[in-house]
Structures are given as C-alpha cells and as structure tokens.
Structure 1
Amino acid sequence: MTVIPSLNVPLLGVAVTPLNRAELLAHIRDAVQEGRQMLVAGHNLHSVYLWYSLPEFRDFYDRAGAVVVDGMPLLALLRIGQRARLRTEHRIGSTDWLDGLADLEGIQRVTLLGGTPAASTAVLRHLRSLGGDVAWQGIPGDPWRAEDVDEVAEEIRAHDPQVLLIGMGMPLQERIADQLAARLDVPVIATVGGALDQLGGTQSLAPRRLGTMGLEWAWRLATDPRRLAGRYLLEPMKLAALLMWRA
C-alpha cells in the first residue's frame, strides 16, 4: 500500500500530505502505472472531528496513502506550526483535481460511485465532455443499501477500473471504500465527498476564489443551511471540546 510522507497538523493532531493538484495527479498516475495500491482521502475540520469520534474512520485515514489538505484552517495551522512554505494551491478539494484524470497518462478506465441516478448521469456527461480516452463508468449510490455491496462490486469488476472514486459523504464512503477494497483489485481508490454532485451541477459549487479566502464553508452553508448548519456551526465547537478533553 502506497504511503506518501506526511506532516502533522499542529493542535489537531492529524497527519496530512500537503500536495498540489499536479503532485497528487502524478502520484495517482505512478500508482496505476506501477500497479501499487493507494487510498486517497482529504482532511477538513469535519473529517478531523470524525477521526476523533469514530475508530474505524480513524483507521481508514491512518492507512491512506495520500490525505490532502481540504480546508483552509488546516493549511493555516500547517503554515504556522510547521513553518512550511505552503501556498493556497496546497489546499485542494476533490473538485480541484478529479477532472484531471481525463487526460492523465496511463489512465484508461475510471469508475464513479455515488449520487442519485440523475446526478450520476450528469457527472458522466460532464467528464465525457472533457475529451480524452478515459472510459468512465457511473454507478449511482443514493440511496445506498448495505446489501448491494456485492452487486456493486461485480459491476465495478466488469469495468476493471484503474481508479475508483467514491462520493457518498463521510463516514459512509470510507466504510464502502474498505468493503470494496476487500473485494476488488483497484490500484487507486479515492473518497471524494460531494464532488460528483458538484461537478455534475446537481449541487452548488462555490466560486474557487472563496476557497482560497477560506470562505467556501460560508457559501455552502448559505446554499444548504438545513443540511450543513450542524457541521459548520456546531461541529467545530464539539471538536474543540474533544481536543481540550484529550490535551
């Protein structure tokens, strides 16, 4: 299992691999070409909270080969605590790199798992419009039934992807990634959250400049307050309490 050297995030106590878009895509390309298995995940405050709250979630992240920085608070802590020369490009969400697979050398087959049937169709349409020689497979995952995992594994096996992208939300997507990894031989498995819905246009995608300013959370909260209020307004306080209790 490929593991890229990581940095520890001060105060939060989690490890990340601060890569930019080109570096992450290069690692994915190399893992595929060399036949190495690699898990790709992303850390933000939500995932840090789950890392402390759920042992199986923590285990998944600790085994991941690349855990990119998917949140400006984490990047800011790295810059200060590690005195690392990191730029805003080292904060990358899944929507920042996923479409780069379209013309990545050696990538010929990619499977997308997640979203409603309409969302799955929409993101496939978007990715195929990018050109390139990738054969994209889309499998809806909403609603997800645990008993469907074997059937889904067979669908994926028939496509024989080099990269499997799972966009089901945390911590469900990580659980499914482990279940499928035990059933399949896919070189790269990446958990990508809402990226499939966002790239397909079925979920609002924040302007990129807001991400570099650390305000993407505000955009997402304003566009979907019922679903995200707890994550953005209450969870940071719960995380702070957890960290204080463990100190």
Structure 2
Amino acid sequence: MAFDFEAPRGMTAITGAKPSPRRLLFGLYVDSMRMDETVERCRQAIQTHTSLLVGVLNAAKIVNLRRDPGLREAILDCDLLLADGQSIVWASRLLGKPLPERVTGIDLFEQLLALADQQQRGIYLLGAKPQVLAALEANIAKRWPNVKIAGSHHGYYSEDEATTIATDIRASGADMLFLGMASPKKEIFLRRFRHELDVPVLHGVGGSFDVLAGLTRRAPPSWRRLGLEWAYRLVQEPGRLWKRYLMTNSAFVALTVREALRPAAPLGPSASTEQIEPPPHKRAP
C-alpha cells in the first residue's frame, strides 16, 4: 500500500526545514515524526521567528471532529499534527501507513521546557486555576531554572478579557506559548488570535499543567510503553471516565475498520464554519 508523502502544512512552513512525510489517516494528514525531529522543528521555528502551531491527535479527537466543526477547523489549522495516542500509532500500522512513534503532548511540553532551559528562552503559560498555575511556575523554576517565564494567565477568563490577554502575550516577547486548557476553549483562542500573538511555537497541552504542577499523577512508564495511559486514568476515576472511554474506544475501532475497507478522503473545512468563521489565512499548496 502506498504511503502518503506531502510537503509540510501551510504558509508557516520553516525555510530550510526538511519536509516531513505525512500519512493520510482518517481524513487527516498526520506528520510522521519522532520526538527529536519535532523538537528540532520547534527549535528552527524559534530561531527563524516563524509561527508553528503544534497539534496532537488521539482517538477521542478522531471520533469527535466528525460532529464538531470547531474542533475539525482547529486540527486542520495545525502546522504539525502528531500522534499523541498510542491507538493512532497502532491504527497507522494496521492500515499500512505506519507512524514511527507516539509524540505525546505532555512529553513534548517537557522537551520544549528543556530546550527553553538550554537556550534561556521565554515562555508564556495560559490556563488552569490561579493556584495550579502558581504551583506550575514554581516547579518549572526548580526543574528548568534557566527558563524565562515571560508571563502567565489563568484559564478562567471571560470572553471580554481575551483580547487583553492576547495583547499581554504579544508584549511578553515569549518564544513559546503553552495553553493548558480544555477543548474547545484553547482552539477558539488560537483561531482568534494566533496571528496577532507574535509567538513562534504554540502548543496546546491540555491537562499537562495539572501534572507538572503536581496535582495529577501520570501513569508509570511501564503503562505508557504499553499504550495503557488511558487505562491508568480510568482506574483513578472510573465513575467519571468509564462511559466516555467505552463509547470513544468503540467508535474509534469502528472507524479503523471503516478506514481499512474504504480510506477517508482528506477532510476540509465544514460548510457551516466556512460561512460563519473563515480561516484567518490560506495554506500554501
């Protein structure tokens, strides 16, 4: 079966960066990259001061984007789209379009903090509750003392405050913006302000703020190697998560079977989103 090789996404492609192959999976072009390659691409974006929006993909997003136009738009807007969930990697191999490894959002977050520490770069943190944000900043200062926290803001802001926050991010001069907010709030913020922020690397890290702040325990490495991080979370919160995981995992298996029988064509913007909120830029072919 033929692989799907294409040039990197969009107008924000980094001059001189080696194009990464992409695999067409479930209608999305997923970048076939390892962690070290991803970090290098981010390093180049910072060096050239070129906007690079990094997105991560898991089974839940594959399922949900089919009924959520806003989520679909956010994923299609990403310059890099990486396999966060092990299920995506497994599916890619079953479908004959193998991805090299899982690049999780939280692992990339830590690797980019290490890069910022090495190069004394500035970061901006947006998300979580004020007390969680304070704990996160303290832990970053301990683990990566050379990181410059150029600014931060909690994630419980009103819509009226969003413009002020975006102005603060731009004024901070940060090299990286990390958004520790749930979907679709972080996607809405990035779609509205991405090209006004003047920050090279933008990465939505979801619940990683809680983990690095010490509030949430991550699965042990052995569970992660087996692709069972979701199961560890389920053991911790069975009452809240069992139904969600049952429905999402079942739907993803069904989509994988369908993909094997009839691969999906590349997804495009939904008609409703195009009419209501056109993309802020057009990608280069």
What is the TM-score normalised by the length of structure 2? 0.76
Within 1, Cα distance between the matches of 2:144 and 2:97? 40
Within 1, Cα distance between the matches of 2:250 and 2:200? 37
Count of equivalent residues: 241
User: Structure 2 residue aligned with 1:26, among 36, 40, 59?
Assistant: 40
User: Structure 2 residue aligned with 1:149, among 128, 147, 162?
Assistant: 162
User: Structure 2 residue aligned with 1:67, among 78, 81, 104?
Assistant: 81
Within 1, Cα distance between the matches of 2:128 and 2:66? 27
Residues 36-59 of structure 1 show CA distances to partners (whole Å, capped at 9, x for unaligned) of 111101000111122212222212
Structure 1: gaps spanning 5 or more residues: none
Residues 187-229 of structure 1 show CA distances to partners (whole Å, capped at 9, x for unaligned) of 1111111111111111221112212212111111121234433
Structure 2: gaps spanning 5 or more residues: 1-11, 15-19, 265-285
Amino acid at match of 2:246: L
Within 2, Cα distance between the matches of 1:150 and 1:49? 31
Secondary structure at the counterpart of residue 143 of structure 2 = coil
Structure 1 residue 30 displacement after superposition:
0.3
Secondary structure at the counterpart of residue 201 of structure 1 = coil
Within 1, Cα distance between the matches of 2:99 and 2:184? 31
Amino acid at match of 2:176: V
Amino acid at match of 2:245: Y
Q: Does the CA contact (< 8 Å) of 1:32 and 1:106 recur in 2?
A: no
Match of 1:80 in 2: 94
Residues 115-135 of structure 1 show CA distances to partners (whole Å, capped at 9, x for unaligned) of 111111111112111235221
Match of 1:17 in 2: 31
CA RMSD of aligned residues (A): 2.5
Q: Does the CA contact (< 8 Å) of 1:32 and 1:162 recur in 2?
A: yes
Within 1, Cα distance between the matches of 2:96 and 2:44? 28
User: Structure 1 residue aligned with 2:49, among 31, 35, 42?
Assistant: 35
Larger Rg, first or second structure (1 or 2) = 2
Matched, 1:171 2:184: yes
Q: Does the CA contact (< 8 Å) of 2:92 and 2:99 recur in 1?
A: no
The residue correspondences of 1:95-114 to structure 2 (distance < 5 A) are 95-104=106-115, 106=119, 108-114=121-127
Matched, 1:202 2:218: no
Structure 1 residue 92 displacement after superposition:
2.2
Amino acid at match of 1:92: V
Within 2, Cα distance between the matches of 1:207 and 1:138? 29
Q: Residue 172 and residue 120 in structure 1: after superposition, are their counterparts in 2 closer, same or farther (change >3 A)?
A: same
Structure 1 residue 239 displacement after superposition:
4.9
Matched, 1:228 2:241: yes
Secondary structure at the counterpart of residue 161 of structure 1 = coil
Q: Does the CA contact (< 8 Å) of 1:49 and 1:239 recur in 2?
A: yes
What is the TM-score normalised by the length of structure 1? 0.87
Secondary structure at the counterpart of residue 210 of structure 1 = helix
Match of 2:175 in 1: 162
